[in-house]
Amino acid sequence: MGATTRLIRSVFRHIIGYCIVFPTILLAIAFQALVFKPLFKNQTTVPHLIYRLCGMVFGVRFALNPQSAPISPDNPTMFVSNHLSRFDFVGLRLFPDAAVMMNARILQMPVMGLIIKVFADSAGLIATEQSKEAKHRDHDRLGQAVQEGRNIFVFPEGIQTDGRRVLRYSMGSAEIFYEDALLAKFPALQTAQLQPVVMRVKTIEGEDVIDQPAKWDRYALAHQLSNIFVGMTRLSMIRSITVDVLVCPPLDPRDFETATDLINAAQEMARAIIAPQQVETLTRKQWKARVDARDFSI
């Protein structure tokens, strides 16, 4: 009966998703691109609606931890978070007016890539190619977003994990706090801060698993990095998932000599909470190789 129930749930969610929610999202993206951004300069209302709809369809809920540090409304903030799943975007609605860094490879997907590009351009998402050639362009766009009063949200691991470890954080985005040319061009960067965020799976099917990262892969789906549709199907079989979002105290870039020091401090805050026993810190490329080899050992 359990397997039958899960299958029925998956079929029902796919029907609702493809027949009702997906067309609604397409209309919302068109409305965002043609009305909200050009006429009202609003880049958050429609994206947050889309994030909420996706969460409702797949039973994924993001809850702000009551012990979270406050988010300052006065200082532009770069939020940096560990990355558990392709569906972490559902939690972005918790962060006010945040320009989100995303991997440009998503835009190469057939059909969906074009749709996502239209959405990204109108919602102020920043697609990065993770290359040296693109770095200056990306930094300029980040500085411009901060100067406009927006926050920034980054997944500096650059890839989803299995939840049992925290990968090395890339310092790329944090470099904007240390480039003299950018600081002069975008003065708002001089008072901006970096605030670490820690995402943990709190409940799966009502079971409390926040202290059992080994079970988080039912949400993380690290073994499905290459096929988002297979991942969606597996996720759709789970009745409900709650992701705990803990916002840590902010870090002042001016208290650190380099971007490496700053981002390492943020990574260490996340590691101490999620994986206190972790010894080896893998890079994105090392973790990808592990996933390809189906090696999920600690």
Instruction: State pLDDT tens for residues 48-94.
Output: 999 999 999 889 999 999 999 999 888 899 999 999 998 999 999 99
User: With contact defined as beta carbons under 8 Å apart, do 186 and 146 qualify?
Assistant: yes
Q: Which residue has the tokens 């999620």?
A: 274
Domains of the chain as residue ranges with CATH: 2-292 (3.40.1130)
Which residues are paired to 195 by β-bridges?
79
For residues 239 and 278, the answer to whether their CB atoms sit within 8 Å is: no
Give the pTM. Answer: 0.91
> What number is the average pLDDT over the span 225-235?
72
User: What's the average model confidence in pLDDT over 100-113?
Assistant: 78
Give residue-wise pLDDT tens across range 245-280.
Answer: 999 999 999 999 999 999 999 999 999 999 999 988
* pLDDT confidence tier of residue 21, bands split at 50, 70 and 90: confident
Minimal CA–CA distance to 251: which of 169, 182, 137, 165? 169
Q: Does 29 or 225 have the greater pLDDT score?
A: 29
DSSP for 109-177?
STTHHHHHHHHHHHHT-EEE--SHHHHHHHHHHHHHHHHTT-EEEE-TT-S---SS--PPPP-TGGGGG
Query: In this model, does residue 118 exceed pLDDT 90?
Result: no
Strands 151-154 and 241-247: unpaired
Half-sphere exposure of 277 (CA within 13 A, CB side): 4
Computed from CA positions of residues 152, 157, 159, 164, in that sequence, does the dihedral angle turn out positive or negative? Answer: negative
Question: What is d(CA 26, CA 19) in angstroms, rounded to the nearest whole number?
Answer: 12
3-state secondary structure of 226: coil
Q: How much is the average pLDDT of 34-56?
A: 89
**What is the rounded distance in angstroms from the CA atom of residue 18 to the CA atom of residue 58?**
12
Instruction: Report the range out of 29-33, 36-40, 58-62 with the highest average pLDDT.
Output: 58-62
Amino acid identity of residue 4, one-letter, is T
Write down the pLDDT at residue 292: 85
In this predicted model, what pLDDT tens digit does every residue of 148-183 receive, in sequence order?
999 999 999 988 898 899 999 999 899 999 999 999
What is the chain's mean pLDDT, rounded? 89
pLDDT band at residue 31 under the 50/70/90 scheme: confident
pLDDT of residue 95: 92
pLDDT at 138 (0 to 100):
87
* Residue 288 CB-density burial (10 A; 0-12 exposed, 13-18 middle, 19+ buried): middle
Q: How far apart are CA 60 and CA 54, in angstroms?
A: 8
pLDDT at position 6 is 85
What is the longest distance spanned by two Cα atoms in the chain?
64
Residue with tokens 């820690």: 198
Residue 225 in this model has a pLDDT that exceeds 60: no
| Share above pLDDT 70 across residues of the chain, in percent, rounded to a whole number | 97
